[in-house]
Amino acid sequence: MCGICGVIHRQKDHPVEFNDVKRMCDVIRHRGPDDEGQFVQDNVGIGMRRLSIIDLSTGAQPIFNEDRSLAIVFNGEIYNHDDIRLELLAKGHQFRTKADTEAIIHAYEEWGVDCVEKLNGMFAFAIWDGRKQRLFLARDRIGIKPLYYYQDNDQLVFGSELKSIVQISSVPREIEPKALDTFLTFEYIPSPYSIFKNVFKLPPGHWMIYEDGQAKVRPYWNLEYQKSELSEKQLFQKFDELLEDAINIRLMSDVPLGAFLSGGLDSSTIVAMMRRRNESVKSFSIGFDDPTYNELPYARAVAEHFNTEHFEEIITPDVAHLTEKILWMLDEPFGDFSVFPTYLVSEMARKNVKVVLSGDGGDELLAGYDTYIAQKVAQRYAKLPSFLRKGMIEPIVNALPPTNKKKGFINKSKRFIEGARLSDHLQHVRWMIFMQSAEKEMLYSADFSDSLHGYNSFGFIEDYFRRSASDEPLDQQEYVDIKSYLVDDILVKVDRMSMANSLEARVPFLDHRFVEFAATLPGSLRLNGKRTKHILKASLERELPNQIINRGKEGFSIPIKNWMKNELKPMMLDSLSESNVREKGFFDPKFVNRLVDEHLKGEENHSHRLWALMVFHMWYDLYMKKEMA
């Protein structure tokens, strides 16, 4: 697990400075504290920071092919690299290390850009092909590992994190209005945008060739929903076999390994299947003093059930200090509160292991969110006569007084009714919209509104619905969530917060074989009535405690509403002060003041809106300064 970066100048007589590549590597040292390496030749410079997991003694990068005409820097893990190695050895390739990185470069040498189709793993890599004078970049199918790039008439700059790219002084730092608008709507920035104009994320399942000053981006993989012809018994058997194998191959490591254990179904499943090998398991859980946000009893029950070596902590963090550290590590404005517990559990785990398995992805593949149930209800609600919906139900719900209980019946009902007014495609994401268009109209300054030129922040969601290539609503909803929320929220959070602690997080549910298989399951095996993840629960009901199988879905969250009234209050008042908001020029200070005042008085719970605004203003101060290092 590493961080990678590089610069390619269009003209060969324009040499890359070694110090530029070194600086790009230094700023992502947290991704790889064990080693570093650079290759700089003429107009080409690539570099990396290494977290040593496999082949600790000889796996240093960059790695070259036999005649050193190819050089690679690589971030990730290739779990089937031994099989690829054997195939390449039979074709006459020579290896000098046992590292999975070397398998990639020889695979490229043998199969060209099609090498990516051979790889099972999480990856982002760059290969400099000296013979063809071209750079080859690729990102894994699901988007587990990040890869940013910037291109202008003179150069291409790439990196695992945005902070590497802006180390190059010629890369401009100009806010992309579309990205900021979408961030305030959904709390994350979707691919291919980044917060900076002309800096993009290479989309998942895509590769890029940069040659003769031109960049060509192409997809090599997409998720397709097609119903399997297997019997239900065969589907259950294959489900169990594929998931168990996905977990087993991710136990490949030359360093200590463990598992995140939240007490939810997905993380508990991973621990259960790790224990099938009769190996000891280290498990890691955190909780908070507030019992509403404390899942430790569930995690403890699973740990005791499987006799893991369990580590748990009740966290009372220095919230203000931690906020500044997290914002630096995130690269872009990011509003998902669960970055806090993800960072803290990663910090705790890193004291004991270098690799963890995480349960991310199960909700999107197997209809694990309550939103899938809500959308099922919405489809039935839409069939009610208009006089009943608009003449009776909606007026009654709208007249109910709001409460500060996010998950309370009244607030859920109001949001449900609001969503019923949206288009069919947008109704599914109603629960993920944190700032409505009407609110943004009051929030935005005139200049910022003008810069958007009528941009539709929901456009990427509507586009994914169109591209889902399935007539089944559940298939469409899962496809959208996998391509958007999973990639640019969940996986960003897990990558940045684990790597901030120099910890490698592996995600078995996102083995591409298992992902493709899940897309063949009948909807009733994913969402059976109101039972989410039906096939997973039915498969594991004999192994997991009943309280885990039958518990409702809980988010990995924090008491942010209260923190913003107490621990984070001084930081909020400073970052959202009238002078600071006016100076940056994006928002109306009076509207921001109103949100702050209503929240502090307890009249409204504006924690999502205020946190997003705080994040942006504090991020701006960190990343828009030219002296950032």
Active-site residue set: 2
Task: Give the Cα separation of 51 and 502 in Å (integer).
Answer: 7
CA 571 to chain centre: 26
CB 346 within 8 Å of CB 263? no
Element (H, E) at 309: strand 309-315
The count of other CB atoms within 10 Å of the CB of residue 276 is: 12
Element (H, E) at 254: none
Q: Name which of 457, 461, 455 is nearest 185 in CA terms.
A: 457
Rg (the chain; Cα; Å): 24
How far apart, in Å, are the Cα atoms of 302 and each of 172, 507, 548, 555, 557?
A: 50, 19, 8, 18, 20
Task: Give the Cα separation of 251 and 258 in Å (integer).
Answer: 9
Q: Name which of 462, 234, 495, 460 is nearest 360 in CA terms.
A: 495
CB 33 within 8 Å of CB 164? no
Query: What is the b/e burial string over 69-91, where b = at least 16 CB atoms within 10 angstroms of the residue's CB?
Result: ebbbbbbbbbbebeebbeebeee
CB 182 within 8 Å of CB 457? yes
Here the contacts of 380-388 (C-beta below 8 Å, separation 24 or greater) are 381/416, 381/420, 382/420
CB 95 within 8 Å of CB 36? no
- Which tokens sit at 251? 């136990």
Q: Name which of 332, 338, 389 is nearest 560 in CA terms.
A: 338
Classify the C-alpha dihedral 67-46-216-31 as positive or negative: positive
- Residue partners of 542: CB distance under 8 A and separation at least 6: none
How far apart, in Å, are the Cα atoms of 621 and each of 40, 181, 319, 572?
A: 32, 18, 19, 14
Strand partners, 121: 78
Specify the length of the chain in residues.
629
Phi, psi torsion values for 156, nearest 5 degrees:
-125, 130
Strand partners, 139: 124
Q: Name which of 459, 569, 413 is nearest 186 in CA terms.
A: 459
CA 394 to chain centre: 36
Strand partners, 128: 71, 135
Element (H, E) at 207: strand 206-211
